Structure 1
Amino acid sequence: MPTTHRTQRRSVLIVLVLFAAAATAFAQTPLIANIHARQITDLSGTWSTIIDAYHVGERNRFYEDRHQTDPSELIEYNFDHSPTLKVPGDWNSQRPELFLYEGTLWYRRIFSYHPAQGKRQFVYFGAANYHATVYLNAQKLGEHSGGYTPFNFEVTGKLKDGENLLVVEVDDRRSKDAIPALNTDWWNYGGLTREVSLVEVPSAFIENYFIQLAKGSPNEIAGWVQLNSAAGGSEVTIEIPEAKLRQSAKADEHGRAAFRFPAQLTPWSPDNPKLYEVRISSGTDHLTDQIGFRTIEARGTKLYLNGKPIFLRGISIHEEAPFRGGRAFASEDDKTLLGWAKELGCNYVRLAHYPHHESMVREAERMGILVWSEIPVYWDIDWKNPDSLAQARQQLHEEIARDQNRAAIILWSIANETPIDPDRLEFLKALASDVRSLDNTRLLTAALNRTGREGKTRLIDDPLGAVVDVLAINEYIGWYESRVEDADTTEWKSSWEKPLLFSEFGGGAPYGRHGATNERWTEEYQANLYRHQLTMLRKIPALAGLSPWVLMDFHSPVRLLPGVQDMRNRKGLVSDQGQRKQAFYVLQEYYREMGAH
């Protein structure tokens, strides 16, 4: 057998082994879907904290929260007399001395709880950046890596009737084998950045479900309900009262009940973001969700929503809070950011470069905004490392498990600006395979930034283009390369007959900094760049949409120019205080024009 064939075969075997291992890991710690439809105890609020820069907390058993009982006893920590932090929230924006801190910090929360007989309990984390180790009543529950996806641990039988001690060690140090790796152009906000809850469910419960329109069919619902600890043959019922639909199915020996049935429903769309109350029940467990139903397809170079062509008028957004700064986590943050996107004329947002808060996705759905959702396989990753691939796959599975019923999401993205490399291609092919096995109703994409050149023509020829359903390109003509005016004469060609999104372009300007149109870092330069970019985009027949970079200025440790950047990426169309720059109105006018077609 030739060497190349042996290498290819070995790569396939490695991917299959990793897939099996990851699937086993996910099965051991099931992620409970839609926790807000459950009986929950909110553990948000004020937590006591200890900075552990030298990582001595585990050795000194911080998780026991010991107190001195003998005057001679040596205990070198004390949560009661240590500073506090609000949860949810990052530590960087809450205390000035932690603004640049990367390392370990311990959180402690004491809460009262009275476990109900015959019920099971899970402690649920919306996200913790980056590596979390969780202890309940001095017993280790487990660990989780990944800063933007949810996780939970079962605590049935481990809770006391009365006062309980929850301690979490969070370490946000960057590492080469992590996802993302060492370098990012956004702030590494550490801590318990999203909600912490105690979730109570019946002994046999509905773990997750996928209820969407069948692929390629606007008149059929298909999917599954996964039960936890239910006997084979257990009945599952799905009801959509408004549509007078009721369907039952039997679970198999693995607790999964598959179904497919006809349905006449009003489709969800940006113009009419219709959500139906969907009731799922099995045995003693019942829950309700608000779900929209729509189809999304790529045919040739066009995108079709509910069978009709759609042009994606978008903007990219980072999960940074307007006005106060720090990680966005409140519904007010979501409404503000998405409200600015609506004012701009958007029907679509790219939530970069990681899964945003579940509340952000749900708010976009209520407002009628389509969503690109992404995992942080960003810039360069340790492509040959099986642990890095396993971590990327875990985050992808957790993202989809949480958001697979959100009609707003039409694109799963598996990467941003990654180098062309054979190992990278195998890595991303494995992720693409996972997406298609988990959810074949949405489209697959990745933000590319490497192109071939033939004179003034840019050729989209990254081999990853053959893998994705929708091509996306990040380009910065007039900022990182060439002159602003060169966009006017630049043409674009693709090696594939697929829809093309311009997922990023732009330039930086602090709000209120003015000058000539050829003077960098001025609003005039930024606005002029947008005008020339839009001139170029109007000439691209395959253009299916765009999401320029970026809605709002955000903190970044690699943006260091004093008096201009000051550790902020200034490419926002809006300042972090909500002030609209000139380019905002340039893009707004273009979207009015496109919306009228």
Structure 2
Amino acid sequence: MNKLLLWASIILVTTFCYAQNNQIINVDSRKNISLNGTWHYIVDPYDTGFYDYRFKQRPENDGGAYWNNSESQDATQWTEHGYKSPYDIQVPGDWNSQDRMFVYYEGTVWYQREFDKPSISENEEVYLYFGAVNYEANVFLNGKDLGSHKGGFTPFNFKIPKELLKDKGNFLVVRVNNNRHADEVPTLNTDWWNYGGITRDVKLVMVPKQFMQQYTIQLDPVQDIVDSQKKGKYKLKGTVKLNVAGSGKVTVAIPELKVKQQFDIKGDSLHFEFEAKKISLWSPENPKLYEVTFTYGNETVTDKIGFRKIEVKGKDIVLNEKKVFLRGICIHEEIPQQVRRAHSNADALQLLGWAKELNANMVRLAHYPHNEHMVRVADSLGILVWSEIPVYWTIDFKSKEVLAKAKNQLTEMITRDRNRASVIIWSVGNETPVSDARTTFMSNLALTAKKLDPSRLVSAALEVSHKDGVNHVDDPLGQYTDIVSLNEYLGWYGSTPDQCRTARWTVAYNKPFFISETGAEGNFGFHADKTARFSEEYQEWYYNEQIAMFKRSFPDSFSGISPWILADFRSPRRNNPTYQEGWNTKGLISKNGERKKAFYIMQAYYKQIMEKEKEVNSKK
């Protein structure tokens, strides 16, 4: 495997330049104007607005291009497109839930709205920011191409040239295409709904010509927490990245800690460190956040940041020098009662509130980066987070271009969320079939994550091999991850739950062992004998047998579980006409928000673990 590591290192060097460099973080703390609300749309399944009848991309000034305004006072003008009511659509939001004709639609939809020039000084610039667009976005302003972005779950932004801005009626058009392709991330085959649209916030962001594009601040990950607690002071480390090279002073302040430090910056980046006294460490039991301000020139950016240390010691996951068991639950970015993408702070409060009710202290955000509200609310509620990129199932592992796309999404995810104390695990993929090409691809992502952020754990949902009736956790990718995570469905696919009683396991790695998925379908209100699949009783039986197996069979490295899944969700793969009808019903909560019997099984199990932890900690 040494040769494999060498290949991964070579790829890391040669393709890292593909990552996006101009991402602006924490836009809500900067001067901004929301462009959310009602937009106009054109459904364009043939991509007529982008390509001519010879399927050549239209030139910029082509009157038939949908990025150009077709309105004219000249009655003789030829036009075959236009934007007006009642062709209205709400942003943020997926198109699938806004009109029945969009339910299964995959293709191009053009979004359009107008805005007036914001009030800016001579020394300010305007950026157009998107929280996410699924999957490909081409952005045009006043007939000019601002740029494009691929990746349906990470933010991006473009600088708007000042000469392009008009005082009134700036004509903004976004071509959104959610077609699936074999050479994209995710690829053709997934087990979730392909919601299309501008699914997250859109903003105009006003910043100085030279500004703090990104910053980080955290506990020095190599310091000894126990020693720091005894001394009553901690070392903090951080970075500031400017949009362009410059010089001057950067001030970092944490008023509650009576900290105000000033540093010289030369070039486009700064690395700093200093000590702070009596920090209250962030944890699920104490989700303490501090107001932190960064000031450079005339700009001050404020954030709420928690300080904590996450690491692996032997077979344990350790948070602030205390062993932690991850009482998890998987979540899709979906509000089931309204059959739509989640996107707001209220949505995050609903989903994470359900997790807290379950007695969970951790969520696995599957299978892609969720919106920023989710991780910020997790910070405030004290919920640990596993955040993942959609490298899922049958990615083209031999393609350098696909690897570059995956690395770009990984970089954008880490860049946005590396100041969130709640995020403890970066996941580089889910259930990817073992091969040399796949392990090279995936190990490269793991190495990239560690290079970008060595202070957190890296994992993936690994594969399990089966031989002589034994389940072997021996996926070669496990040597590159910090914890051994796997998905298992003993009792649902190809067996019944009593198979758990005789299941045998071996683990090839001396690392923490985490069940990243397990679950069975159960329809709320369908009651029958426990052997009847899709009944609440079957799902209840499944979890009872799983819990018994956890207690009996798993190794001493068992560090947690995140059942699949918090709530029922939409999937085109699930087509049983009686029990599914396009829904995956493995949720512990139904599509209408009702708690199933299995919810209370896991809730009680987690309560038992909590009580044991309190008992152990009280004796220390």
- Give the TM-score range, shorter chain: over 0.9
> Could you tell me which residue of structure 2 aligns to residue 16 of structure 1?
13
> Could you tell me which residue of structure 2 aligns to residue 361 of structure 1?
375
Please, what is the CA RMSD of the aligned residues? 1.6
- Give 2:361's aligned amino acid: N
> Could you tell me which residue of structure 2 aligns to residue 538 of structure 1?
551
Is the Cα contact below 8 Å between 2:25 and 2:213 reproduced in 1? yes
> Could you tell me which residue of structure 2 aligns to residue 339 of structure 1?
353
> Could you tell me which residue of structure 1 aligns to residue 44 of structure 2?
52
- Give 1:315's aligned amino acid: I
CA distance in 2, matches of 1:411, 1:11: 21
Q: What whole-Å deviation, never above 9, does each CA across 1:339-379 have from its counterpart, x for those lacking one?
A: 11111100000010000000011011111100000000001
Tell whether 2:504 aligns with 1:488.
no
Alignment map for 1:47-446 (pairs within 5 Å) = 47-58=39-50, 59=58, 60-81=64-85, 83-117=87-121, 118-157=123-162, 158-217=164-223, 218=225, 219-232=234-247, 234-253=248-267, 255-264=268-277, 265-446=279-460
CA change 1:367–1:557 in 2 (3 A) is same
Is the Cα contact below 8 Å between 2:464 and 2:472 reproduced in 1? no
Shift of 1:17: 1.6
Q: 327-336 or 466-475, which moves further after superposition? A: 327-336
Q: 216-225 or 98-107, which moves further after superposition? A: 216-225
CA distance in 1, matches of 2:545, 2:107: 44
- Give 2:204's aligned amino acid: L
CA change 1:5–1:440 in 2 (3 A) is closer
Is the Cα contact below 8 Å between 2:434 and 2:463 reproduced in 1? no
Q: SS of 1:16's equivalent? A: helix
CA distance in 2, matches of 1:51, 1:244: 55
CA change 1:554–1:6 in 2 (3 A) is closer
- Give 1:164's aligned amino acid: N
CA distance in 2, matches of 1:313, 1:6: 37
Tell whether 2:556 aligns with 1:564.
no
Q: 442-451 or 125-134, which moves further after superposition? A: 442-451
Shift of 1:542: 1.1
Q: What whole-Å deviation, never above 9, does each CA across 1:416-451 have from its counterpart, x for those lacking one?
A: 000001111111121111111111110001011322
Please identify runs of 4+ aligned residues in structure 1 that moved more than 4 A.
Answer: 4-12
CA change 1:453–1:10 in 2 (3 A) is closer
CA change 1:10–1:349 in 2 (3 A) is closer
Tell whether 2:616 aligns with 1:588.
no
- Give 2:139's aligned amino acid: V
- Give 1:56's aligned amino acid: T
> Could you tell me which residue of structure 2 aligns to residue 35 of structure 1?
27
Q: Percent identity?
A: 45
CA distance in 2, matches of 1:268, 1:13: 37
Structure 2 residues not aligned, in runs of 5+: 51-57, 59-63, 226-233, 613-620
CA distance in 1, matches of 2:513, 2:81: 56
Is the Cα contact below 8 Å between 1:68 and 1:75 reproduced in 2? no
Is the Cα contact below 8 Å between 2:514 and 2:561 reproduced in 1? yes
Shift of 1:11: 6.4
Q: What whole-Å deviation, never above 9, does each CA across 1:113-161 have from its counterpart, x for those lacking one?
A: 2341221110000000000000011100000000000000001412222
- Give 1:37's aligned amino acid: S
Q: What whole-Å deviation, never above 9, does each CA across 1:216-246 have from its counterpart, x for those lacking one?
A: 32421112111123414x2211111111112
CA change 1:336–1:14 in 2 (3 A) is closer
TM-score (ref. length: structure 1): 0.96
Is the Cα contact below 8 Å between 1:303 and 1:311 reproduced in 2? yes
Query: How many equivalent pairs are there?
Result: 586
Shift of 1:474: 0.1
CA distance in 1, matches of 2:455, 2:427: 14
Q: What whole-Å deviation, never above 9, does each CA across 1:452-488 have from its counterpart, x for those lacking one?
A: 4343x32210000000001111000011133211112
Is the Cα contact below 8 Å between 2:363 and 2:386 reproduced in 1? yes
TM-score (ref. length: structure 2): 0.92
Q: What whole-Å deviation, never above 9, does each CA across 1:532-571 have from its counterpart, x for those lacking one?
A: 0011111321110000000000000110111210101000
- Give 2:346's aligned amino acid: E
- Give 1:504's aligned amino acid: E
> Could you tell me which residue of structure 2 aligns to residue 524 of structure 1?
537
> Could you tell me which residue of structure 2 aligns to residue 449 of structure 1?
463
Shift of 1:263: 2.2
CA change 1:555–1:399 in 2 (3 A) is same
CA distance in 2, matches of 1:495, 1:183: 30
Q: What whole-Å deviation, never above 9, does each CA across 1:310-329 have from its counterpart, x for those lacking one?
A: 11101000000142121011
Is the Cα contact below 8 Å between 2:9 and 2:444 reproduced in 1? no
Is the Cα contact below 8 Å between 2:8 and 2:441 reproduced in 1? no
Of 591, 603, 616, the residue aligned with 1:576 is: 591
Shift of 1:101: 0.3
Is the Cα contact below 8 Å between 1:37 and 1:288 reproduced in 2? yes
> Could you tell me which residue of structure 1 aligns to residue 616 of structure 2?
none
